[in-house]
A and B are shown apart, each in its own frame.
Chain A
Amino acid sequence: MDTGRTSRIAPAGLLLLAWCPSVLAGSILLEEISREAGLEFVLSNGATGDFSQVELMPAGIAALDYDGDGCTDVFFANGAALPSLVKEGPRFHNRLFRNNCDRTFTDVTEKAGLAGQGYSMAVAAADYDNDGAADLFVAGVHASFLYRNRGDGTFEDVTEKAGLAATGPEQSRMWSISAGWLDYDNDGWLDLFVSNYVRWDAQTEPRCGSPGYRTYCHPDLFPGLPNQLFHNRGDGTFSDVSSASGVASQVGKGMGVAFADYDGDGFTDVFVANDSVRHLLFANQGDGTFVERAFEAGVALDENGVPIAGMGADFRDLDNDGRPDLVVAGMASDSFQLFRNRGDERLYFDDHTVQSGLEVATLRLTGWSLGAYDLDNDGWKDLFFATSHFPRLERYVGRSELPNHVFRNQGEARFRDVSTEAGAGFQVSGHHHGAAFADFDGDGRVDVVVNALNAPARLFRNVTADAGHWIAFALTGVSSNRDGLGATVRVTLPDGRTLHNHATTSVGYACSSEPLVRFGLGAADRVEAVEIRWPSGRVQRLRALVANRVVEVTEPREDGAGEQP
């Protein structure tokens, strides 16, 4: 079914060109329109000059369609006063902005009941109760909250009822920094994974730097925390399976979390980027348990055996070979990482950072949230990074406020920094942290919303002039979870090439992006075939779809074509 959204038709001449990124080598152009769009939000981190570690880390953004009108809305998590961790007034409120479907937004926080409590860090959006409306989990420092979407524009705090309130002193000391929804046991209900950072206490927080130059501490000075997994019982409640599943057996300093089935066994695996200690890869055993296999899979450390200050992560197929690769942002002097999935169980991932061009290009950057999206719809996923150094790092790296960065995939996961060509509005500097991705204006080109510490958020509207054709799939699970998260989609182009993607909202750092599964098609104005592998195990095949539209697909009752959209 065609959603009737605006379609962009490429000039006819373009259709004759071969499907090759160099042919469609125009600039990715991102226009900053937050003010015109009325998306006015300032992320307040509560900094008081005491260099509290907490104030360095916020905060998440969610791109979700909370009212089901087909236009993607925006939720911003926000900080709180320090050291109280209390939202003392509206400047610390979380905010929900409704997309008016005309490139403007309206602040509906109050009506929605989402102003929130505590020091919010991250947000994960998905329909956990399969009622067709996107819900929100807001993770934070020592307290996290689950908000159920009532479907009438309002949300209900169900944290307690759902069994997600802190149940003991251990839980109440968690500093949750990212979270994501996945159906790890393929039972049709979305479960919740929470990435926890370090043990932090305002009273005992160490002071770092020197008497003449106070600054933030290195994470080495804080003990790490285990991550958490909550199993959705399907009745609105969750059980803490962190220990039973094996997830809690590993202590890290968790940052971004990303999901994909890297080994193709039909079960979603979990990657957690860690800050200054090795990353974690929880390989889903398919029996409700996970085995941590980052070392064995080759993603624990960089090629030299060195951990980076990992930040955001995305788990996507970047070289169109059908296997999800991993990209991880890091801190200045780390270089961001790109692990290429070889599909070989002896060693799944190669460190492809050097070959990708990212090693040198990102050495001077600190990246936070990120996303692998085909921003110019040429058939290759590009990389967007929200970038900024820590405040106080100016002394060593120059300015700590940076413009964001975009890297164009030149094919086969080789990237070129095209940030300076991305338009004047894109060059604005800030302490950018969160970034969430969606096609907010429905033109088929993925836009980005970014927040910045104590500064206005940015909405980058993708106005890439010569973007290719596109197609997106809005999945509705039946046996699978309603959002279809975890479903993998393969499209075959008229020339026989295949493109791959999967459904996830867990993208980047502390953020949540639209659940649609998108493809840039380059010069192809249709796709020959589509294969969707649902988390339930069902395989659905569609044929001959016209491009430049969002295709709504409902999971069939049995394998096969189902209803042809």
Chain B
Amino acid sequence: MTWGAAGLVLLLVGQGPAMAEADRMYADRRYAEAVERYLALLQEDPENPGARLRLGASLLQLGRPEEAIPHLEIAERVAPGDPAILQVLGQACLGAGRFAAAAARFRRLLENTPDDPGVLRHLGVCQYQLGDFEASATSFRSALSSQPENTRALTGLGMSLNSLERPDEARPVLEKAVELAPSDRMARLALARSLGDLGEFLRADELLRALTAEGPEDWEAWYFLAVLRFRNSYHEQALEAFDRCLTLRPGHPETRILRFRSLVKLGRLPEAGAVRQELSGDPEVANDPEFLLGHAEYSFQTGDLATALARIDEALVRRPRSGMLHHWKARILHHSGETAAAQAEAERAVALAPDLREPRGLLVRLYQLQGKESEAAAQIEWLRTRERAVARGSRR
């Protein structure tokens, strides 16, 4: 999910007739002409922070944040701490994807106005993009304390919580966002994700269907829909959605990989085999752990356990702490008759991902095959406990 740059409203105070004329153009949204005027002014007075600021803002409005940044940096050097410059520079950096630089400016702003909800939201966006979801959740929460119904802050908080794998907390936040802004695309996408993570497949599916119907070219909505279906094992329908994604964004690596995995899951092995060959030759995809897992699944289904094992080992080099990959390795080893090695891998998977039931289910068998009854009993007890929790409805 991507964040757009927020609109800019500058408090314009002209300095002389030339500056006033340029500002009028800016106010009239004639940004290209404004740029020319500000550049002309800067020919005469290169250090003029006001002109640099206005030039940067105009470029930002024209969707050219990278060009805006050098001008704004000059302005910042000349007038350090100026809130308007920090604000616009922060937004330019945000627009250019320089999230750490943007965050630094927003933090500076917050030193003086710690409760500014707009700045908090912008900081939250930067933190989210930098992958610091705890921090972004905190920033969005702070923004909401003064603007509890701000849908952008609600959406940001929901997205942060989704990324923190706390969909149960994200869901009510995002439901509120959607209630306040029923057509907010990003809020609906984020809500669909929480619902999907909570096992509410039908509602998630419906939200995403509506988004794809409203925006048939909305690649992101199609992708979310495809992934939701893939994760819920509706592979036939996932495949259709992945195909749609690829018409909208040809060559998208994740889509191609998951489409391949759908083909394997559907047992369309000859077709999957052809796709596998094509993807194996694409350096952008060939070493992706997700593709390697798909390749292993394909080889497993075609009975080529040696290749399946080799691919899983390659995937593990890249993602050594993946419980699911270790489980797959254990499964392949089990089918290869290597019970002890399979046990070791399954135990590794449990250690890395204690909530994953797959390796525990396999471990029961592996222990039993070796007469390790007490070890098997411990795993059985875990599976029973989980089943009781599901029966009580905790999964929902």
Same complex: yes
Q: Which A residues contact B (CB, under 8 angstroms)?
A: 208-210, 212-213, 215, 220-221, 223-224, 277-278, 295-296, 298, 300-307, 332-333, 346-347, 350-351, 354-355, 359-361, 363-364, 395-398
**A351 contacts across to B, CB distance below 8 A:** 365
**A212 contacts across to B, CB distance below 8 A:** 206
**B229 contacts across to A, CB distance below 8 A:** 396
- B266: min CB distance to chain A, Å: 7
Is B141 located at the chain interface by the 8 A CB criterion?
A: no
Whether B383 lies near A301 (C-beta < 8 A) is yes
**A223 contacts across to B, CB distance below 8 A:** 391
Whether B206 lies near A303 (C-beta < 8 A) is no
- Describe B's contact surface by its main secondary structure: helix
Is B300 located at the chain interface by the 8 A CB criterion?
A: yes
Residue ID in chain A nearest B301 by CB atoms: A360
Known contacts A347-B368, A359-B301; decide if A305 and B358 are in contact (CB<8 Å). Answer: yes
A35 CA / B65 CA spacing, docked (Å): 75
Is B361 located at the chain interface by the 8 A CB criterion?
A: yes
13 pairs of residues in contact across A and B, judged by CB atoms under 8 Å: A208-B202, A220-B391, A220-B393, A296-B368, A303-B331, A305-B357, A305-B359, A306-B357, A306-B358, A363-B233, A364-B235, A397-B234, A397-B237
B365 partner, pick from A208, A224, A347, beta carbons under 8 A: A347
Is B265 located at the chain interface by the 8 A CB criterion?
A: yes
Shortest 5 CB-CB distances between A and B: which pairs? A305-B361, A360-B267, A333-B233, A347-B368, A304-B358
Whether B331 lies near A304 (C-beta < 8 A) is yes
Q: Given known contacts A301-B383, A306-B357, A364-B236, what 19 new A-B pairs fall within 8 Å (CB)?
A: A210-B203, A220-B391, A221-B396, A223-B391, A278-B383, A295-B380, A298-B364, A303-B334, A307-B387, A333-B232, A333-B234, A347-B368, A354-B301, A359-B301, A360-B301, A361-B267, A364-B267, A396-B205, A397-B236
**B206 contacts across to A, CB distance below 8 A:** 210, 212-213
A397 CA / B390 CA spacing, docked (Å): 25
**B376 contacts across to A, CB distance below 8 A:** 296
Whether B202 lies near A303 (C-beta < 8 A) is no
Residue ID in chain A nearest B368 by CB atoms: A347
A302 CA / B327 CA spacing, docked (Å): 14
A295 CA / B269 CA spacing, docked (Å): 32
- B206: min CB distance to chain A, Å: 5
Is B362 located at the chain interface by the 8 A CB criterion?
A: yes
Known contacts A277-B387, A303-B361, A363-B235; decide if A221 and B393 are in contact (CB<8 Å). Answer: yes
**A220 contacts across to B, CB distance below 8 A:** 390-391, 393, 395-396
- B233: min CB distance to chain A, Å: 3
A32 CA / B203 CA spacing, docked (Å): 40
Is B318 located at the chain interface by the 8 A CB criterion?
A: no
A245 CA / B366 CA spacing, docked (Å): 31
**A359 contacts across to B, CB distance below 8 A:** 301
**A210 contacts across to B, CB distance below 8 A:** 202-203, 206
- B186: min CB distance to chain A, Å: 21
A301 CA / B395 CA spacing, docked (Å): 18
A503 CA / B8 CA spacing, docked (Å): 81
- A527: min CB distance to chain B, Å: 35
Is B18 located at the chain interface by the 8 A CB criterion?
A: no
**A363 contacts across to B, CB distance below 8 A:** 233, 235, 265-267
